[in-house]
Amino acid sequence: MRFTRSKIVIATALISAFGLSACSKSNDAEKQGPLTASAPATGEASTLSERNQQQRLQQVLESGLKKANITAKISEIKATEVPNLYWVSFEGMSSVYATADGKYIIQGDVIRLGDKTLHNVSESLQSEVTQKELAKLEVEDLIVYKAKGKTKHVVYVFTDSSCPYCHKLHEHLDEITGKGIEVRYIAWPRGEQFMPTMESIWCSENRQEAFNQAITGAQLPPAACKSPVREMYQLGLNIGVNGTPAIYSTDGVYLGGYMEPSELISRLNK
């Protein structure tokens, strides 16, 4: 998992072409941010004609992007429950919707009406993509706070030591872990100016203590190791993270930003 310059260039080009509660990215970070979209919910192409349609769509999309001087490698295309709307995944970037003719790319959620509650058809495939991305992480590369007693749940939290909402969540760690929830911090600096501090934390012998110091504003020694922070940042971009904290279950389901421990456990139990 490498944070390559080419991926940054691709993501930057996409946001320039198509545009993009927690601590949001800084303005500098927003300039680099990719499209953010959520995924819909159907399976693999079931017929030859459907596969042919997807191949044609891929060719049209790649041609259109190339004309806009955007080099983006499509990794997968899936039909959605919405007629003539497809889910398109790229290598190293977050996914988007595309119309069947390949003329339009759309970002955001698709909501189905008709039931007593609104149904976000995006959640299923997006969580599948997110689960695959989270599986790339090595536990030893994270800051892990073990559950007290029996572990009932594990959550991944994209965090930044400069983010006030991350500070608030951090203050509740004892209560969260006391409810049987293991918390795994993933570094996600909200801008380049926050990168050095996060790299210093991840290069410290005791990351938990270094994080505690950083949120008080203490200066940390410069990073003296090859940290995984930039790779973690790219991973967050791949799944559509655009602010911190961003909390996910091990199934790849986005649970929300800052929330009280009782709300977190309630969402996990659902």
pLDDT in tens, 184-204: 999 999 999 999 999 999 999
Reading the block at residue 258, the tokens are: 């800052």
Q: What is the pLDDT of residue 234?
A: 92
Phi-psi region of 19 (alpha: psi -120 to 50; beta: other; left: phi over 0): left
| Strand 243-244 versus strand 254-256 pairing type | unpaired
Which residue has tokens 């260039």? 9
What amino acid occupies position 165?
Y
Q: Which portions of the chain are predicted below pLDDT 50? A: 1-20, 29-43, 45
One CATH from 3.40.30.10, 3.30.2020.30, 1.10.3720.10, 3.30.420.40 for 139-269:
3.40.30.10
For 111, 126, 167, the CA distances from 120, given in Å and listed in that order, are 5, 11, 30
Residue 6, SS3 per DSSP: helix
Is 203 an annotated catalytic residue? Answer: no
pLDDT of res. 173: 97
Residue-level pLDDT at 21: 54
Q: Which has the closest alpha carbon to 142: 84, 195, 202, 96?
A: 202
Q: Look up 225 and say whether it is catalytic.
A: no
Choose, from 141, 160, 184, 230, the residue flagged as catalytic.
160
Question: Residue 124: what pLDDT?
Answer: 81
| Model confidence, pTM | 0.76
Give the active site residue among 23, 141, 166, 207.
166
Domain residues of the chain, as ranges?
5-131, 139-269
Which stretches of 140-191 are assigned E, i.e. beta strand? Answer: 143-145, 153-159, 181-187
Q: Which of 141, 163, 184, 203 is catalytic?
A: 163
The third-level CATH classification (topology) of the domain covering 5-131 is: Nuclear Transport Factor 2; Chain: A, (3.10.450)
CA distance 101 to 80: 14
Q: 23, 141, 184, 190: which one is catalytic?
A: 190
